[in-house]
Amino acid sequence: MQAPSSSFGQTTDGTEVQLFTLTNAHGLRASITNHGGTLTSLLVPDKQGQLGNVVLGFDDVSGYQSPNYLKSGPYFGALIGRFGNRIANGKFTLDGQEYTLAINNGPNSLHGGTKGFDKVLWQAVPGTSADGQTLTLTYHSKDGEEGYPGNLTVTVVYTLTNDNTLRIAYTATTDKATPLNLTNHAYFNLGLGQLPDVLGHQVTLRADRYTVVDDTAIPTGELRPVEGTPFDFTSPHTIGERIAQVPGGYDHNWVLNQGPQPIAKVVEPTTGRVMEVTTDEPGVQFYTGNFLDGSLTGKGGVVYGKNAGFCLETQHFPDSPNQPSFPSTILQPGQTYQSTTEYRFSVQ
């Protein structure tokens, strides 16, 4: 049985927006809209077996188009592209040509520009696989869109598996060399509705280094060991334990260790919920909702204040097109971009 769809409201120009709800054999539900390919809710059980939503989001598309939302730009649950994270000064040079992007984050370009993949309507087709219900989203990004070269075709498949995993699989092709760094920007709170912030969540990250950044959040190029710093999550620490030692809070890229998965584990002791993350990406941006300020009210009337959610954005490193020492993010014609990230839920 395929995921049913329903109306999620209309865009400001009157276009109807759809919402699709994937359900697995255990009753978990993931709701995704074709507006930005956005994960709007994710219902998973706590240790009592009670289902609860664990991601920040809104009841209909109007929330994602409100002036407060657009001004604060949190990207709740959205697909991010062409380039997740920041590109310094909105410029990069490729094959001898300089490209200029929109400046939308201090002096830099962030998350694909003014109208990135999070703000477009994707073609959506529900389906099924051996693992569970699926939603296949496709978007054609034209040559020059937001300043990026090449006609790019992106396909993202969400699968809610029967072992309680939300899988996000990305593929893309282009007719001209282009930077590409796709991710999902879900904000998680494993006690959402019960806990106003995520400071008590226990986090483990399988990463011995992180990318040091300047005061505009652009990497300096240094990959610094986490040992002896508040960035060391190689053993479990609560988010709030050392966050005050990090000016502004956590919003950094960790360099993931190669080898056995998962790359991250998050435990919320009150509800007993556990989330494990696996990915084939080389990095993850761990962000703790530092810029949420209480101006947004989401599902169930929950006010999203500072640290109301955390993100684990699996990715290549920020500003990679300008950092030759970083793993390349350039997709060439004839190549197929492929990346998969999974979020697996359990209790303890």
| CATH assignment at residue 152 | 2.70.98.10
- The answer to whether residues 331 and 174 touch, using CB atoms and an 8 Å cutoff, is yes
Please say whether the beta carbons of 272 and 72 come within 8 A.
no
69 CA to centre of own chain: 17
**What is the Cα–Cα distance from 346 to 323, expressed in whole angstroms?**
38
Contact, 44 vs 27, CB < 8 A? no
Give the whole-angstrom CA distance, residue 40 versus residue 32: 6
pLDDT at position 334: 98
Q: Is 85 annotated as contributing to ligand binding?
A: yes
Q: Given strand 51-53, what is the order of strands in its sheet?
A: 5-10, 16-23, 29-33, 38-45, 51-53
Known binding residue 186? Answer is yes
Quote the number of domains for the chain.
1
86 is in an annotated binding site: yes
Nearest to 18 by CA among 5, 37, 4: 5
Q: Give 246's Cβ-side CA count (13 Å radius).
A: 21
Peptide linkage before 273 cis (omega within 30 of 0): no
| pLDDT in single tens digits along all 348 residues of the chain | 898 999 999 999 999 999 999 999 999 999 999 999 999 999 999 999 999 999 999 999 999 999 999 999 999 999 999 999 999 999 999 999 999 999 999 999 999 999 999 999 999 999 999 999 999 999 999 999 999 999 999 999 999 999 999 999 999 999 999 999 999 999 999 999 899 999 999 999 999 999 999 999 999 999 999 999 999 999 999 999 999 999 999 999 999 999 878 999 999 999 999 999 999 999 999 999 999 999 999 998 999 999 999 999 999 999 999 999 999 999 999 999 999 999 999 999
Residue 185 annotated in active site? yes
What per-residue confidence (pLDDT) applies to 326? Answer: 98
190 near 108, Cβ under 8 Å? Answer: no
Q: Cα 71 to the chain's mean position, in Å?
A: 19
d(CA 24, CA 47): 18
d(CA 224, CA 15): 47
d(CA 170, CA 82): 12
Could you give the residue ranges of the DSSP H alpha helices within the chain?
Answer: 67-72, 239-242
Q: What is the pTM (predicted TM-score) of this model?
A: 0.98
Reduced to 3 states, what is the DSSP secondary structure of residue 67? helix
Q: Is 251 annotated as a binding residue?
A: yes
- Of the residues 35, 185, 201, 252, only one is catalytic, namely 185
Q: Would the annotation count 187 as a binding residue? A: yes
- The answer to whether 145 is a known catalytic residue is no
Q: Give all strands (DSSP E) within 187-282, no chain letters.
A: 202-205, 207-213, 219-225, 237-238, 251-256, 264-268, 273-279
Which pLDDT belongs to residue 294?
Answer: 95
pLDDT at 26: 96
> Does the annotation flag 46 for ligand binding?
no
Catalytic site residue from 145, 281, 313, 342: 313
Domain around 318: 5-347
- 3-class secondary structure, 242: helix
Distance between CA atoms of 343 and 168, rounded to whole angstroms? 9
